[in-house]
Amino acid sequence: MHLLIPAAGMGRRMGSHRNKLLLTLLGDPLLAWTLRAAEASVQITWIGIIAQPEDKSEFEDILATVAPKKPVCLLPGGVTRQESVYNGLQGLPLGAVRVLIHDGARCLATPDLFDRCAEALRPHREYEPPSGIVAAVPVKDTIKVVDGAGLIKDTPDRSHLWAAQTPQGFPVPLLKDCHEKGLRAGWEVTDDAALFEKCGLAVRVVPGEETNLKVTTPVDLALAEFILKQRPHPQPLSQVGRGG
Ligand code: C5P
């Protein structure tokens, strides 16, 4: 299974002037934690990290420290996440059949989550139409639809609402087609499943992880550190040495 890691954003909501994936959690950059989970997954066999040119040398340092045994490529990032994934898809090895896409900022995803998503993406019956998958969790809050003036317009039935996470997985040729179509039509989306849905293709949810938060604000960073400390062996590379 191929994995693309969009890692080419900035840290605006983090109040940071540099890529938030270079911020540290228990001494290691966010990207190192994401990369190590991907490395530990049984199903992932190839990793593409989508990066901005200015982050390349620091990403290379992270790669040297994590020292993954799987092949890893650095691919050029775009102005938006959508453009970054588009570029990443062009950088997949020829013949890649299925791909998981996982935001670098979701650095707490476990190897098991990668494996469950990869497994769910495989067609299980011969005549099953190809579909995408999205790791997701049922929402806990009541969600309101609010207009620009702050007025509540709707309260959707919570029992049907799920919060989409990554990994998200798709058959490569179909996702490439959806991205091309989105580009031509000027669709602006914040995840790849939305492109698949807009093209009328099926996407199924796979149980995600409550701890699989996307580190976005300083509070998320503190929460992520707390969660990692609860895990049996957080093994920050900075403390246990190369290869953990
Ligand atoms: O900004 P946000 O946290 O929603 O971004 C989600 C993921 O997409 C992050 O891992 C970020 O690095 C990545 N991204 C990207 N290229 C961009 C913007 C965001 O790869 N231009």
- Segment 10-64, tens digit of pLDDT: 766 667 778 999 999 999 999 999 999 999 999 999 999 999 999 999 999 999 9
**Nearest CA, atom 19, ligand 1:** 9
Q: What is the CATH number of the domain that holds 189?
A: 3.90.550.10
Centroid of chain to Cα 66: 19
Looking at the whole model, is its pTM more than 0.85? yes
Evaluate if residue 243 carries a pLDDT over 70: no
Ligand 1 pocket test, candidate residues 23, 56, 74, 81, most atoms within 8 A of CB: 81
Evaluate if residue 111 carries a pLDDT over 60: yes
**Which atom from ligand 1 is nearest to the alpha carbon of 5?**
10
Count of domains observed in the chain? 1
129 Cα–ligand 1 center, Å: 30
Ligand 1 pocket test, candidate residues 103, 166, 191, most atoms within 8 A of CB: 103
Q: Is the CB of 103 under 6 A from ligand 1?
A: yes
**Nearest CA, atom 14, ligand 1:** 9
Over residues 212-220, mean pLDDT = 94
First to last CA, the chain: 24
Half-sphere exposure of 71 (CA within 13 A, CB side): 8
Angle between helices 30-40 and 111-121 (to 10 degrees): 50
d(CA 147, CA 160): 21
124 Cα–ligand 1 center, Å: 31
Instruction: Report strand pairing: 145-146 vs 46-51.
Output: unpaired
11 Cα–ligand 1 center, Å: 9
Contact 9, 55 (CB under 8 A): no
- Segment 142-154, tens digit of pLDDT: 999 999 999 999 9
Q: Residue 185: which region, alpha, beta or left (left: phi > 0; alpha: psi -120 to 50)? A: alpha
56 Cα–ligand 1 center, Å: 15
Ligand 1 pocket test, candidate residues 21, 84, 101, 107, most atoms within 8 A of CB: 84
Q: Which residue, 103, 92, 115, 118, is CA-closest to 176?
A: 92
Which of these ranges, 11-15, 64-68, 123-127, 212-216, has the smallest mean pLDDT? 11-15
Q: Is the CB of 132 under 6 A from ligand 1?
A: no
Domain that holds residue 72: 2-240
Contact 172, 112 (CB under 8 A): no
Q: Is the CB of 179 under 6 A from ligand 1?
A: no
Q: Is the CB of 8 under 6 A from ligand 1?
A: yes
- Segment 159-185, tens digit of pLDDT: 999 999 999 999 999 999 999 999 999
